[in-house]
Amino acid sequence: MEINQKKLWDFVQNNMEQSRILVVGDVMLDKYYYGDVTRISPEAPVPITHVTSTKETLGGAANVAHNLALLGCQTAIAGFVGDDYHCQSLLDKFTSRGIDYRGIIYTDAPTTTKLRVVGGHQQMLRLDFEETAPVDEPYASRYLNYIEQRLNEGIDALIISDYAKGACTEETCCRIIDACHTHDVPVVIDPKGSAWEKYMEADYITPNLRELNAVLPDPIRNRDEAVEKAANYVMRKFRIKNVLATRSECGVTLVEPEQTEHIPTKSQEVFDVSGAGDTVIAVFTLGIAGGLSAAEAAYLANLAASVVVAKLGTYAVSKQELLAVLENR
Q: How many CA atoms lie within 13 A of 119 on its CB side?
A: 13
What's residue 61's pLDDT?
96
CA-based R_g, the chain, Å: 19
What's residue 271's pLDDT?
42
Lowest mean pLDDT among 181-195, 268-282, 306-320: 268-282
Q: How far is CA 201 from CA 85, 149, 235, 238, in A?
A: 38, 21, 9, 7
Out of 100, 203, 272, 278, the active site residue is 278
The whole-number average pLDDT for the span 276-289 is 92
User: pLDDT of 116-128, one tens digit each?
Assistant: 999 988 899 999 9
Q: By 3-state DSSP, what share of the chain in percent is helix, strand and coil, each rounded to 5? A: 40, 30, 35
Q: How many CB atoms lie within 10 A of CB 310?
A: 14
For residue 32, what is the DSSP state? E
Determine the Cα–Cα distance for residues 313 and 249; give it in Å rounded to an integer.
Answer: 18
DSSP H/E element including 231: helix 224-238
User: pLDDT of 87-97, one tens digit each?
Assistant: 999 999 999 99
The whole-number average pLDDT for the span 73-81 is 98
State what percent of residues in the chain have pLDDT above 90.
Answer: 81
Give the total residue count for the chain: 329
For residue 99, what is the DSSP state? -
- Enumerate residues 6+ apart whose C-beta is below 8 A from 54: 31, 32, 33, 34
Determine the Cα–Cα distance for residues 192 and 258; give it in Å rounded to an integer.
Answer: 26
Active site residue 278: yes
The whole-number average pLDDT for the span 166-189 is 97
The whole-number average pLDDT for the span 299-307 is 90
Decide if 81 contacts 101 (C-beta within 8 A): no
Decide if 266 contacts 325 (C-beta within 8 A): yes
- Enumerate residues 6+ apart whose C-beta is below 8 A from 108: 82
Burial class (CB in 10 A: 0-12, 13-18, 19+), 139: middle
Q: How many CB atoms lie within 10 A of CB 243?
A: 26
Decide if 61 contacts 23 (C-beta within 8 A): yes
Q: Which of 3-17, 19-33, 301-315 has the highest mean pLDDT?
A: 19-33
45 preceded by a cis bond (ω within 30 of 0): no
Model confidence at 315: pLDDT above 70: no
Determine the Cα–Cα distance for residues 299 and 283; give it in Å rounded to an integer.
Answer: 10
Q: How far is CA 121 from CA 41, 52, 58, 272, 316, in A?
A: 20, 13, 20, 9, 18
> So what's the architecture of 5-28+57-113+131-327 in CATH?
3-Layer(aba) Sandwich (3.40)
Decide if 59 contacts 29 (C-beta within 8 A): yes
